[in-house]
Chains A and B, each alone.
Chain A
Amino acid sequence: MTDMRTPLGRVRGLGSAREGTMHFWRQRLTAIANVPLVLFMVGLMVALVGAPYEDVRATLANPFVTLVVILFFVSVLYHMKLGMQIVIEDYVHGEGAKVALIALNTFFPLVIGVASIFALLNIAFGG
């Protein structure tokens, strides 16, 4: 059978290698990061159940807490964006609907992330 690949492509040996491998890898990387970050977040929620407004804000304004919660959002939102993209690509076959949903899937985590991080910084620095 004739090999249709270019000599360079054959040497690189990466197959079609565009974004699939990186997608797979980042899904795993964020999954690993999510484990401690989510556990911290659950612990934080448990500690703050029913706590008064001032206490919640004081805890969230702690620099360590602020930082970890920001990392939580970055990792979790990226992970869920990658995951939802796969779901859309698997089940949505109409080209227009697929493109629209993939675009929405980019905006949704971004908006949530920017809003949440802004809220956190506002609590941390807003006084």
Chain B
Amino acid sequence: MSKTTATRARPLSPHLQIYKPIPTMMMSIIHRITGVALYFGTLLVAIWLMAAAGTAEGFARVQGIYGSWLGLFVLFGYSWVLFHHMLGGIRHLVMDTGSEAALGKDESRRAAVAMPVVSFALAILVWVVAIMARGA
């Protein structure tokens, strides 16, 4: 007899939702999400370049959209996500070396917790410099 089983749903192994969220795990997930966001963010850079290759009017229009409140909000988010992903990537490169400094329980937790803070600070720094450069 070949059709005796499969009348009941088979048990599944536990998945994400049964684990308590911890910083290293959250940062791993966020690294992936920021990567996907940056994938589409590259479009913004490409559009800006193509506008610069086009007419002055077209370029002014794109600059206008990027310089609007919504545009600035998106660009700030873009820069934060960019730094977050960059720091996360460097963290992963260090972890790839297998060093205790990166993989130890406390060390890895501290690095993970620092990620959003440091990336946000870097984004703020870039924008402060940009705004000052524009004023000068």
Contacts and interface: CB of A to CB of B under 8 A. Distances in A.
State the main secondary structure of chain B at its contact with A: helix
A41 B43 CA distance: 14
A67 interface: no
B45 A56 contact: no
9 contacts: A31-B93, A49-B130, A49-B133, A60-B52, A87-B32, A87-B35, A115-B46, A118-B53, A122-B53
B27 to A, nearest CB: 16
A74 interface: no
A5 interface: no
Interface in A107-127: 109, 112, 115-116, 118-120, 122-123, 126
Q: What 5 A-B pairs are tightest by C-beta distance, nearest first?
A: A119-B53, A46-B130, A53-B56, A119-B50, A116-B46
B42 A112 contact: yes
Given A32-B93, A80-B38, A116-B50, A46 B86 contact: no
Given A28-B93, A87-B32, A116-B46, A126 B67 contact: no
Contact of B52 (A57, A76, A115): A57
Contacts of A32: 93
Contact of B49 (A28, A42, A60): A60
Interface of B: 32, 35-36, 38-39, 42-43, 45-46, 49-50, 52-53, 56, 59-60, 63, 67, 79, 82, 86, 89-90, 92-93, 96, 126, 129-131, 133-134
Contact of A112 (B46, B56, B59, B79): B46
Given A42-B79, A46-B133, A123 B93 contact: no
B129 A46 contact: yes
Contact of B89 (A34, A42, A77, A120): A34
Interface of A: 28, 31-32, 34-35, 38, 41-42, 45-47, 49-50, 53, 56-57, 60, 69, 76-77, 80, 83-84, 87, 109, 112, 115-116, 118-120, 122-123, 126
A123 B53 contact: yes
A33 B121 CA distance: 23
A28 B96 contact: yes
Given A53-B60, A84-B36, 12 more contacts: A32-B93, A34-B89, A41-B45, A45-B130, A56-B52, A60-B49, A87-B35, A116-B49, A118-B53, A119-B46, A119-B50, A120-B49
